[in-house]
Amino acid sequence: MVKKLLFFDIDGTLYNTSVKVPESTKRAIESLKKDGHTLVIATGRAPFLFKDLREELGIESFIALNGQYAVVDGEVIYKNPIPSDLLEEISKDAKKHNHPVVYLNDTHMVSNIKGHSRINEGLGSLKFDQSPGHNENFHLENEVYQGLLFCTEDEEDYYKERYSELDFLRWHRVSLDVMPKGGSKAETVKKVIEKLGFNEDDVYAFGDGPNDYDMLKLVKHSVAMGNGVDETKSVAEYVTSHVDDDGLYHALKHYKLI
């Protein structure tokens, strides 16, 4: 059997709506590993926020922070920090409007405004087992690969118009991902494919959210979860069932990978 390279989103793909890995997915991942396929997690989460999942599934390669940080077999192969002066500018601007910012890198999650209700609402939806620390100067003292800007949809154009050097991607009613311009899961998927030397016919990607759109559009074999957004479904080669209905398992069966 020709070995395949598979990229998996976490939330809504590996994790179900209860933020658990379905038993069918666990069995499928074990089967893929046993057959010698290469598995890579591709997520918007920071590495320390899915360490338990990597250990649970035994997957050591990953793309984190929507493509800004990548590890293959334990080795960091790519980092794309946001310039600190740009973060300082948008942070000051956001604070004037009472819009908090959370800074993320590979080891930390730190806010510039402590205990803000929008941070609690947005991050609470992801059911993290930890809250962000607080340090207004974190971005001046550490590399930051992604920010979270907490504002509503009708407030976001203000930032998009003023900060053309950044990309903004909404993931929650009150929160946007803030990334370096052009940074995405897809761009880093390209780097991983090149690093590992796979042919395009042997690459698969699975996802559900807006941040999976470019990744699914890039690869030859793309799967959107039944619970995915319509835009992402529209570019997928195959749309499987809902994550809560063993969607990942059924997709892998469809492609005869398990």
Question: Which active-site residues does the annotation give?
Answer: 9
List the structure tokens of 191: 């780097």
Judge contact between 150 and 118, C-beta under 8 A: yes
Helix (H, G, I), strand (E, B) or coil at 175: strand
List Cα–Cα distances, 148 to 70, 93, 205, in angstroms: 19, 14, 25
How many whole angstroms separate alpha carbon 168 and alpha carbon 206? 22
How many whole angstroms separate alpha carbon 29 and alpha carbon 23? 10
Those residues whose C-beta lies under 8 Å from the C-beta of residue 83, and which sit 6 or more positions away, are 165
List the structure tokens of 44: 């918007």
* CB-based burial, 187-221: b 16+ in 10 Å, e otherwise: bbbeebbeebebeeebbbbbbbbbbbbbbbebbeb
How many whole angstroms separate alpha carbon 91 and alpha carbon 137? 10
Those residues whose C-beta lies under 8 Å from the C-beta of residue 194, and which sit 6 or more positions away, are none
Helix (H, G, I), strand (E, B) or coil at 192: helix
